[in-house]
Amino acid sequence: MSNNSSNGGSSGHGPGHGPGRKLAMTHRKPKNTKKTLLRLCWYLGQHWVLLLFSLFCIAFTTLGTIYATRLIGVAIDDYITVFDFPGLAKICAVLMGIYLLSSLATWLQSYCMMKVGQETVAVLRQEIFQKFQKLPLKYFDGTTHGELMSRVTNDVDNVSMALNNSVSSIFQSILTVIGTFFMMVYLSIPLTIASLISIPIMLLVTKWVAKHSRKYFKEKQSRLGQLNGAIEEIISGQKVVKVFCREEEEIREFEKLNQSLLEVSVRAEIFSGMMGPIMTALNNITYAIVVATGGIMMVLGSAMTLGTISNFIIYSKQFARPLTELANQVNTIMAAMAGAERVFEVLDETEEEPDAADAAELKDVQGDVVLTDVHFSYEKGHPILKNVNLYAKPGQTIAFVGPTGAGKTTIINLLTRFYDIDSGSITIDGHDIYHLKRKNLRSTLSIVLQDTYLFTDSIKENIRYGRLDATDEEIRQAAKLANAHEFIRRLPDGYDTMLADGGGNLSQGQRQMISIARAILANPAILILDEATSSVDTRTEVKIQEAMQNLMKGRTNFVIAHRLSTIKDADLIAVVNHGEIIERGNHEQLMQKKGFYYSLYTNQFEQSATV
């Protein structure tokens, strides 16, 4: 199906439009962190071999460090205090070996976790992009482009940072705490108790700060998405902004969004930044308690030695360090959880309904289209179409006319199953479209919309988008029928000319002709045209009209008409108003009735005559 990005027309969209900017800044309630974490663990579990090897390396490094610390105490008590330098040299050699192997193990586990993290993030990006292709059009109508981009980029990047750094830190922290605790208990229970006095306070502070940080980081990501939406819209609409001299107003609007993001970002960083100083203070207090307790025990004549006290000072630091590191990474972890939640929100969105089990495929489509008692509403209780009945014979041209918001483009959205009807039926060649495979249904249609969309690629590839297996010669023939060949041939690189974003380096008329060529190449049985000649000059309009006539030959055509003079030869003109077809017939019949169509036509003719 040859399709442009926008649905154009007056009423084709649902309640919201894609690149909208004025969004309510709602405070979404944070979801279940445990559920999000478990879901991330499932993704990590796909790389269990690398994870196990990384865990082994972390265990070796952690236990080696704990053992090396104990050797330092032994060196103090057995070699340094008795000036046994040969023995000290041996133990130093052992320490050097442990530290060298630990460094190698650290590098290996960092490499493995980096690989796991990057591959996991790549899978997430792939899944969210695939999800976008499966979501119904109404989702994109109600979500800003910037918000969608934020999910794929900012949110996934936050997850990436956490997976690359925090996962291995968590493993290492757990092993360090367990190993250090047992070594401390083995050396001295009284000093162990002294070392653990501050731990409950650390845990309570961590829990309190994490609870508040997570809320603000989730809100930060949400507002960042809103800001991205504003930036995307204003950049896309710079011509409109400048022609209406609204630069200052847009700056003020952006400043409001930016200030809103700043406020919640500051709150998030303040809460997460509290952890480091608090933990440092508690650690220093712990060192003082350990030294004082050990000194008192030595004075009282216990078996406490200088080496053991030295070990405990190091072990207390090792025991508290994992908590401090986790505290310092609260912002990274909270941002990752918020980002993961937002990614999973998209992945959990309801997709287009799957094809029915008995869904058939149309072959040799004739183009016999029937709408029977069709009712439709974007929102319950607010009907858009009411009791629409229409019959298009193969090869006929059916034109829809009516005021803005009447429901013309909505009928097209239902034909293509961008939206599903509330009641009634739509058939093609006698087959209900809800019992046809979507891909097959849409492959029988081509759409040329009022707002053309061209990809940032060559002209040739933009035309080939209508049929990917088309040859270069078929592309040229389609361009000739669309009256596009001549202007393409005059371009410096011809069909290989690269287009700017949205085809910005071509005129509106040229973009429209390329869009028509794309539809011609698709060779559909049913064609949908949203006439787009009102913004081009008369000479270009004639060329586009001629191209459209070439495109419409031998097909069933549905035309949304804005200039009524262009559909005078239509086989049937359906006049749509307030969601109902109030008049139907050809041009002569409707003019003779002197009803709504007659009024529309004469008013438009009079306006044209006065220009």
Asked: is 452-523 a CATH 1.10.10.10 domain? The reply is no
Q: Is the pTM of this model over 0.75?
A: no
Domain ranges across the chain = 47-344, 452-523
pLDDT band of residue 473 (cuts 50, 70, 90) is very high
Instruction: Identify the bridge partners of residue 371 per DSSP, sorted by sequence position.
Output: 390, 426
Confidence check: pLDDT of 256 > 60: yes
- Predicted local distance difference test score (pLDDT) of residue 41: 81
Give the pLDDT band (50/70/90) at residue 122: confident
C-alpha separations of 154 from 119, 140, 258, 338, 529 in Å: 17, 19, 16, 11, 38
Q: How far is CA 550 from CA 103, 262, 300, 484, 599, in A?
A: 72, 56, 105, 12, 31
| Range among 229-233, 372-376, 412-416, 446-450 rated most confident | 372-376
Nearest to 168 by CA among 120, 108, 110, 100: 110
**What are the phi and psi torsion angles at 294 (to 5°)?**
-65, -40
Query: Domain 47-344's class?
Result: mainly alpha
pLDDT for residue 596 is more than 50: yes
The residue-averaged pLDDT of 306-335 equals: 74
Sequence-ordered list of residues with C-beta below 8 angstroms from that of 139, at least 6 positions apart, any chain: 349
> Tell me: the pLDDT tens digits for 171-207?
788 888 888 888 888 888 888 888 777 777 777 777 7
93 vs 17, 61, 62, 71, CA distance in Å?
Answer: 69, 17, 19, 11
Identity (one letter) of the amino acid at 521? Answer: L
The answer to whether residue 3 scores a pLDDT higher than 60 is: no
Q: Write the pLDDT tens digit of every residue in 481-520.
A: 888 898 999 988 999 999 887 777 888 888 888 888 888 8
Per residue in 320-334, pLDDT (tens digit) is 777 667 666 666 777
pLDDT of residue 450: 73
Can you read off the two tokens belonging to residue 131?
Answer: 């999800």
Q: What is the DSSP letter of 353?
A: P
Asked if the model's pLDDT at residue 524 lies above 50, the reply is: yes
What distances in angstroms separate CA 561 from CA 92, 310, 400, 449, 533, one per listed residue?
88, 87, 6, 11, 10
Segment 262-286 shows an average pLDDT of 78
